[in-house]
Amino acid sequence: SQTIHQWPATLVQPVGSPLSLECTVEGTSNPNLYWYRQAAGRGLQLLFYSVGIGQISSEVPQNLSASRPQDRQFILSSKKLLLSDSGFYLCAWSGQSTDTQYFGPGTRLTVL
Amino acid sequence: GEDVEQSLFLSVREGDSSVINCTYTDSSSTYLYWYKQEPGAGLQLLTYIFSNMDMKQDQRLTVLLNKKDKHLSLRIADTQTGDSAIYFCAEMSRNQGGKLIFGQGTELSVKP
């Protein structure tokens, strides 16, 4: 069966520091991968998605970037965090032939 | 743009039925989903319905789709305290390149 992991689970970082969040998927190959942010207001905002290694689409211009160095690994990064980057970051995957997205456990990021 | 709307809160008594409603605007939606989010956790896929179906039942969950009115509902029979969570409605929007469009979530509170 497929599983999706995210780490770290929680992170507290100072303003201006770099960020690296990791997401990995097991039990499937060539998945579509997604990064979402959930702010305090609950709504989910799609940040990036990827249909293959090195292929990244950005949905919202911002202080973040994403990379996919391996088939089942998706990384969310920032060079300098802003206070507004605080939130709950969720990674999701879907199969190439299905649209249903499955979510990871999330990373709670607090920028102070 | 495409939009999905839900009421923000619902409170029921343990043992009663809960009905969570959702409206969407994209007439080209192919799949509609219900996700459950418990505090501090990721989104758990509960169920989904294909747009050419009217109803889908899965144990205590019943999904009703009125495609004419673009209205989706999730009924939870015999609601338990463990059902307390935020429930998200989402549509797969062909008009937005197959992306998931989420509602703001309905917080279900189950009182003993």
In chain A (112 residues long), the average pLDDT of successive 10-residue segments reads 95 98 96 92 88 91 91 97 95 87 96 96
The nearest CA of chain A is from the CA of B92 a distance in Å of 8
Give me the pLDDT at residue A30, please: 93
Q: Which chain A residue's Cα is nearest to B96? A: A59
Neighbours of A28 (CB within 10 A): 17
Query: Is B42 close to A108, i.e. CB distance below 8 A?
Result: no
Give me the pLDDT at residue A96, please: 78
CB pairs under 8 A between A and B: 41
The nearest CA of chain B is from the CA of A13 a distance in Å of 19
Give me the pLDDT at residue B93, please: 77
Contacts of A110 (CB under 8 A, 6+ apart): A10, A11, A12, A13, A86
Amino acid at B34: W
Largest CA distance in chain A: 41
Q: Which chain A residue's Cα is nearest to B86? A: A42
> Is residue B29's pLDDT more than 90?
no
> Is residue B1's pLDDT more than 70?
no
Closest CA to A76 of A68, B18, B112: A68
Give me the pLDDT at residue A41, please: 66
Query: Is B45 close to A99, i.e. CB distance below 8 A?
Result: no
A90 to chain B, any CB pair closer than 8 A? The answer is: yes
Contacts of B102 in chain A (CB under 8 A): 43-44
Give me the pLDDT at residue B30, please: 82
- Chain segment B42-82, per-residue pLDDT in tens: 999 999 999 888 999 999 999 999 999 999 999 999 999 99
Amino acid at B63: V
b/e per residue B85-103 (b: at least 16 CB within 10 A)? bbbbbbbbbbebeebbbbb
Contacts of B43 (CB under 8 A, 6+ apart): A44, A90, A92, A103, B35, B36, B37, B88
Between CA B6 and CA A20 the distance in angstroms is: 33
Give me the pLDDT at residue A11, please: 97
Torsion of CA A106, A108, B2, B26, to 10 degrees: 30
Nearest residue, CB atoms, B86 vs list A42, A46, A108: A42
Closest CA to B86 of A48, A111, A25, A90: A90
